Structure 1
Amino acid sequence: MPCISLSVTAGIYHRRRRDLSRFLLSVQSPLKHQVEILDWETKKQLCFLDKVEPNATIREIRLMFHKLYPRWYPARQSIKLDPKGKSLRDEEILQHLPVGTTATLYFKDLGPQIGWTTVFLIEYTGPLFIYFLFYFRMTFVYGLDERFTSSPHPVVNLACICHSFHYIKRLIETVFVHRFSRGTMPLRKIVKLCEAGNFSIHVALSDLRRNGSKTRKIPYPTKNPFTWLFFFVSCPNYTYEVGTWISFTIMTQCVPVGLFTLLCFIQMTIWAKDKHCTYLREFKDYPSHRTPIIPFLL
């Protein structure tokens, strides 16, 4: 009898020890998540990701989804908590989202993507070379009699230099920067100052996101005088660019250039208002006296 009792006691001891070990392992090991990804329109299930780490980021989930659907690479994916909501950022962590251990996310195909550097290189290279077609009087534009002839008016050459300088500067910014006491002054200086101001603003905006940071910040003036326009407007880079095109229009006194300047002003005003509203929405302490593009007016 004592042997049987001892054997039973030992069995109970080992069973409890095993149960305790399992409990400790379950406490130490974080609970895995399950992620269900549905089509944002049809609500059809596209995939079910099992045993996802709770500290997994949205970028990691995009990569998991990409393995199952190679044609939808991460940049093409929009992952949302709600079909009509905003896309989740790459750095957001699964366990910090308002979901349980079984999360339902919605996928939207953004279509084929192209890098922003490529977009801006194409955007600025086009106007640069199109202008040359008319400046050098190409045969298929002016005919054989006027081909490769030069204009007798110096302003034509000056306009070409200013136009080329503007777009070459923008190309250089795209590659290396993006990640801008007298009562009067000569008209020719407006172009120089507007281009310098535009460049200074782009540099100041680039400095807000050093070392690959994606955190949005309120832009403020720096020691560079060209950035002091930030005291009055949210998008001084657009203000300077509008000034450049107005100066170019006065210089050339050309109706098509004036129409182009007007269209540029309308488009940049739309962009400036959108950015201004975004700043007001994201930052409660955003300077209330700033206007989108024109100081005190617009």
Structure 2
Amino acid sequence: MTKLVIDIFDAKKPNKPGLSIEDLDENDTVLTIRRKFSAKKHLDVDRVVLRLNPRDKNLKDEQRISELKLPAKNAQLYFRDLGPQIGWKTVFLFEYAGPMLLYPLFYLRPSLVYGANASKPIHPVVTIALYCHTFHYAKRLFETQFIHRFSHGTMPIMNLFKNCSYYWGFAMFMSYFVNHPLYTPALLGPAQSYLGLIGFIVCELGNFSIHLLLRNLRPAGTKERKIPVPDGNPLTLLYNFVSCPNYTYEVFSWVSFTIMVQSLPAALFTLAGFLQMKIWADGKHRNYRKEFPNYPKGRKPIIPFLL
């Protein structure tokens, strides 16, 4: 079999001399090329992505050279250096551990935050909010460690600081006002708070159910993709209406939390989360429809029948 040679150029500086990767054959994958190029370039393989053209999408690791339709001679690819990388799981563990540890400080040590006179009796809903908030992030840490199967191994290291600033900052912002000595409970009293609590619990269970379904959809060690459908758990029936029910449940968990505590910072956190998750859901919805010709047409990205 004739060995192939592929010249790889910098996508940002395509006119500069490239590196030649030799001893390739048509059955080699993009991942094989990335590894050989990274070793020759002295870059960590996770930093390197390859493209057919400088502005094209990144090639998938599992694609074979034969699928790329490269010419037999003067075959060229382009690389992009993504910069220093960090594991997705590491980022998630840091960004979720922060809120779980920071939020309780305002409840457990009010004198450090509000002054020595912060001795007003704590309303029961404030304690319930502490348990809910802590449970939410404990669940996220558990899912990160034992449930999620990541299709990508790393992300840019700057995401660690960006994500932690978002989650840690909002946790302290919410906690400051919910645990404040001048906090007043919900306008409609215990009925409103308990309605929010019930909604929060149901949505947290629903979110966990979707994550379990997604885990079981992708066999360990693979990047296999299938159309997700309800699996018999009633809380997964939301897949009949939306493409990303995990985001739907996540949003309504925080809507319920906001109803429970009736707090503006909680509402702002909910709104910010919804706007970001709507963007993610739209992208995943488009990818599902593009990848699967038989994808259910009635589904919306995140809000049933609407969005």
- Bin the TM-score by the shorter chain: 0.7 to 0.9
Where 1:114 maps in the other structure, the secondary structure is: strand
Deviation at 1:151, TM superposition (A): 4.4
Amino acid at match of 1:133: L
Give aligned-pair identity as a percent.
Answer: 49
Partner of 1:46: 18
Distance 1:94 1:187 in 2: 54
Distance 1:60 1:191 in 2: 46
Residues 251-294 of structure 1, C-alpha deviations (whole Å, 9 max, x = no match): 11111111111111222112111111111122111111001111
* Structure 1 position 175 matched with structure 2 position 140: no
Distance 2:23 2:222 in 1: 30
TM-score by length of 1: 0.83
Residues 92-120 of structure 1, C-alpha deviations (whole Å, 9 max, x = no match): 11123211233201011111111111111
Distance 2:9 2:112 in 1: 54
Where 1:45 maps in the other structure, the secondary structure is: coil
Structure 1 residues 65 and 139, CA, compared in 2 at 3 Å: closer, same or farther?
farther
Partner of 1:271: 280
Partner of 1:6: none
Distance 1:34 1:152 in 2: 71
Partner of 2:211: 202
Distance 2:242 2:286 in 1: 12
Partner of 2:50: 79
Residues 112-150 of structure 1, C-alpha deviations (whole Å, 9 max, x = no match): 11111111112211222221222223555223444xx68
Amino acid at match of 2:242: V
Within the candidate set 238, 242, 247, 2:247 is matched to: 238
Total equivalences in the alignment: 261
CA-atom RMSD in angstroms? 1.7
Partner of 2:97: 125
Distance 1:87 1:151 in 2: 57
Partner of 1:89: 60
Segment of structure 1 superposing worse, 39-48 or 130-139 = 130-139
Distance 1:239 1:177 in 2: 19
Unaligned stretches of 5+ in structure 1?
A: 1-29, 180-184
Distance 1:42 1:119 in 2: 31
By relative contact order (CA 8 Å, sep 6+), the higher-ranking structure is 2
Partner of 1:254: 263
TM-score by length of 2: 0.80
Q: Is the 8 A contact 2:10 2:78 kept in 1?
A: yes
Structure 1 residues 47 and 277, CA, compared in 2 at 3 Å: closer, same or farther?
same
* Structure 1 position 36 matched with structure 2 position 45: no
* Structure 1 position 106 matched with structure 2 position 78: yes
Distance 1:116 1:164 in 2: 22
Q: Is the 8 A contact 1:80 1:86 kept in 2?
A: yes
Larger Cα-atom Rg: 1
Distance 1:256 1:100 in 2: 58
1:212-231 to 2 correspondences below 5 Å: 212-231=221-240
Structure 1 residues 37 and 160, CA, compared in 2 at 3 Å: closer, same or farther?
same
Amino acid at match of 2:88: W
Q: Is the 8 A contact 2:196 2:258 kept in 1?
A: no
